Amino acid sequence: DQAAGKKLEIHLIKNPRGELLQRNQKEFEELTGIKVGSEQVPEQQSRQKTVIEFNSGRTSFDVVHLSYQAQKKQFAKGKWLEDLRPYFAKAPAEFDFKDFSTGGVSYATQNDGRIDSLPLNLDPWILYYNKELFAAKNIAPPKTFAELVTAAQKLHDPSKGVVGMVGRGVKNANVLLWTSFFLGYGGTFIDTLGKLQTDSPAGIQAATLYRDLLKNTGPAGVAGFNWNEAQSLFLQGRAAMWIDGSGFAPPLEDPTKSKIVGKVGYAEMPAGPAGQISGLTGDGLGVSAFSPNKDAAWLYTMWATGKVMQARMLLTGAGAPARSSPYANKEIVAGQKLPAAWLQAVSDAIKRSSPILPVIEPVNEFRDVYGIALTNMLGGADVKTELKKATAEFQPVLNKSGWKS
């Protein structure tokens, strides 16, 4: 192989996926004769470092690990990643592009049709529920938003120290819970002319549901809760339900951390009036447009997102694969540390998923502006007024970013 003897530098985000790839890179070196140097960088620092390097027109790395919800549009605008489609034709049969799930392919595809990364991990939002609390009151897990509200009301019992529902109330982080509901009401973030649709009826209904669930059936001080406070209340057995990313499951089944091991139910996001949709975040790997070793970098990207590595990711609990095959692999499923119900909820959710945040460059500003509005609603402010205000405030930011549908 012409690539043998080449040296690659891989820039990884510090997370369980980054660790898994580093741990197994020797295998890639033995398979290809390509030498690999890699580093894991914490997410915030990684975002700064990659932008500085890409803007300079030279990168110290050949392959880059990116967070789709934060970096997809930014990388697209600069055409910083190589279009991988020409490589697909030369790829061996086991590459099997059709094995990547729809949600993953949609994240990896840019508006102009370029596929400039391969999806690695998808994190759909799911419903965690306490089976014991549900059984005690003979309530079935909710399948719809209406059933979610009823179950939360029936299970909310502050006198026993139990809340019906817990979720993110703290500004910025709270936006993802609201958008999870927004998708189920049929919401789209931006119309084809670049006008925000966040104060549409879907936006208002979703924000009202968000406010009512957390304010009426949530814990005191919920406006200060991020995922970790919500997780901690839930694993103490003090919340009947919690909606958040599927990657937060492992501590719930860890006897040293959790009082509810074996009592956790896992389900897909309940259906809204417009259908059942799970909000999705994810990460992928792309080849730097400035790399002098593009062929070798493509081989690494293909190996890292290939069937064997994706199966390992599921087996070790390092994430939820963007490929479909690991979920159908009986040996993998049998070896999984998490319950079968978690696996089922995640694989079902991935099939019916959509990006949890608008795919735009100023996504962090979006979270800040709407996060304040949602926190204000929890404090008693009018839902419609707050959303209209946030939409009016964010529209110029979106316009300035040169948004294109």
Structure tokens at 280: 């999705």
How big is the chain by its Cα radius of gyration, in Å? 22
Helix (H) or strand (E) holding 69: helix 68-77
Structure tokens at 368: 């800040």
Closest alpha carbon to 74 in 104, 52, 41, 102: 52
Helix, strand, coil percentages, rounded to 5, for the chain: 50, 20, 35
pTM above 0.95, yes or no: no
Residues of the chain scoring pLDDT < 50 = 405
- What confidence score (pLDDT) does residue 310 get? 96
- What confidence score (pLDDT) does residue 336 get? 83
**Which long-range contacts (C-beta less than 8 Å, at least 24 apart) are formed by 40-46?**
40/12, 40/13, 40/14, 40/15, 41/11, 41/12, 41/13, 41/14, 42/13, 42/14, 43/13, 43/14, 43/15, 43/67, 46/11, 46/13, 46/14
Burial class of residue 291 in the structure, from the number of CB atoms within 10 Å of its CB (0-12 exposed, 13-18 middle, 19+ buried): buried
Asked if 89 contacts 71 with a C-beta cutoff of 8 angstroms, the reply is no
Helix (H) or strand (E) holding 125: strand 118-130
Structure tokens at 309: 């590595």
Number of CB atoms found within 10 A of residue 272's CB? 24
